[in-house]
Amino acid sequence: MSRKLVYFDITGYSEPIRYMLHYGGLKFDDVRYNMQEWPIKEIKDSLPYGQLPIYEEDGRVLNQSIAIARYVASQTGLLPTDPWEQAKLDAAVLNIYDLIKKLATFFYAQDPEEKEKLKKQVLEDVDYYYSRFEKELHAGGGYFGGKLSWADFILVNTTELLNLQLNQTVNTEYPAITALISEIYANPGVKEYLANKQSSAPVS
Amino acid sequence: MSRKLVYFDITGYSEPIRYMLHYGGLKFDDVRYNMQEWPIKEIKDSLPYGQLPIYEEDGRVLNQSIAIARYVASQTGLLPTDPWEQAKLDAAVLNIYDLIKKLATFFYAQDPEEKEKLKKQVLEDVDYYYSRFEKELHAGGGYFGGKLSWADFILVNTTELLNLQLNQTVNTEYPAITALISEIYANPGVKEYLANKQSSAPVS
């Protein structure tokens, strides 16, 4: 089966998808456009809704990062079968995305004073959400859904994103989240990906 | 089984969930808070992430409108079983939500001149998305996924929302979308709900 994930040469919305594909040992073509060169008109116009990421499997195309992540989870043992358990994980992922969206204004702010003010607000948002995520992980024996699932991957990569953007470690006071990061980093497929990450040149 | 959907006395993000519950003939408690009185501190503080809607089933609680809608779809025959087919519908729903998000700035604008300008932008966005939705419905024999699913309900209720907010019928030039609206309105459960809708007082 041929698989292709097309995104930018950043982590962003695609990194949990990449992690899960590596976790599951599913070979895929990791195509990355240079964000500085975007939009590339002929590529953008060819996308179903003008946006990346897209995922292709044997020529079939899927857009929307959440839809792709959930599908890949279904192929890598990271999605339970019970509808209520699935729904609880959907909610967890969407709650995490709500927090990511709150990062956008900070990310695009240019004025240093304004950016510092917005950073404080984001850190308050992180506290609000992360204290709740931590509680959910405790209730689930270290995972959102009682065992490792796609929602856990989304949280780990979101933490990477926040730490990078805010230039500080937001998970320090959340032991369950920190343990989850260590567990996912220790997976052989993810470990190999991370080891190769720095040496791989972006495809642009 | 006891079911409860808690939201505001508006259509918004919960209307497709209400429609699908009525479509499936699943009895539920349709609790609606008066938006003018929101936030009610003791209620907001009791919510998992401070936001409505929430859905309760035999005391179990679920938040996030997309997660709730998808779960209700799984209980009412509106979700296929194949993972790829499911993923295509997830993507359709998320594409529709991207369009809804573009409505927010227009919705909150106060200045009439600014609002008129933003309305033009929203109508352009509607064209961009609706021409693609229409194409997808054509390819699927009138539905996003080859037969009636939750993505179709989300599109129908989004069209209601857009028509209401923009004070014009955005679906006029899209025959497949218009036919889909008629089909869902003709369902006995939905029909009864719509007939009772005007006479029902909001629970606040």
User: Tell me, what amino acid is at A110?
Assistant: Q
Specify the DSSP class assigned to residue A80: -
- Sign of dihedral through CA atoms A97, A99, A101, A104? negative
Q: CA of A73: which chain B residue's CA is closest? A: B83
Which whole number is the average pLDDT over A130-144? Answer: 98
Distance CA B179, CA A78 (A): 38
**DSSP label at residue B169:** -
Average pLDDT estimate for A166-187: 97
* A57–B71 C-beta distance less than 8 A: no
pLDDT, tens digit (0-9, with 9 covering 90-100), for B119-142: 999 999 999 999 999 999 999 999
- Per-residue pLDDT reduced to its tens digit, A87-109: 999 999 999 999 999 998 899 99
Asked if A87's CB is within 8 angstroms of B70's CB, the reply is yes
Helical pair A83-108 and A150-166, crossing angle rounded to 10 deg? 10
pLDDT in tens, A52-63: 999 999 999 999
A64 with B95: Cβ contact below 8 A: yes
Q: In 3D, which of A66, A46, A54 has the Cα closest to residue A157? A: A66
Within a 10 A sphere around the Cβ of A190, how many other Cβ atoms? 20
Whether the CB-CB separation of B68 and B26 falls below 8 Å is answered with: no
ipTM of the complex: 0.95
Chain A residues in contact with B129 (beta carbon < 8 A)? 49
Tokens of B41: 């501190």
Beta-carbon contacts of B22 under 8 Å, excluding residues fewer than 6 positions away, are B189, B190, B192, B193
What residue has token string 């604008």?
B109
The residue behind tokens 């990078």 is: A164
pLDDT-based confidence at residue A198 (cuts at 50, 70, 90): low
Determine the pLDDT at residue A170. Answer: 97
Give pLDDT tens digits for B2-28: 999 999 999 889 999 999 999 999 999
Backbone angles phi, psi at B52, to 5 degrees: -105, 155
d(CA A153, CA A56): 21
Does any CB of chain A come closer than 8 Å to the CB of residue B178?
A: no
State how far residue B96 is from chain A, nearest Cα, in angstroms: 11
In a mutational test of the A interface, the residue from B44, B55, B71, B131 whose CB has the highest number of chain A CBs within 10 Å is B71
Instruction: Spell out which residues of chain A touch residue B74, defining contact as CB-CB under 8 Å.
Output: 83, 86-87
Closest to A165 (Cα-Cα) out of A123, A132, A199: A123
Number of residue pairs across A and B with CB atoms under 8 Å?
Answer: 80
Q: Which amino acid is at B22?
A: H
Determine the straight-line distance between the first and last CA of chain A, rounded to whole angstroms. Answer: 24
Mutate to test the interface with B, among A64, A81, A149 (most CBs of B within 10 A): A64
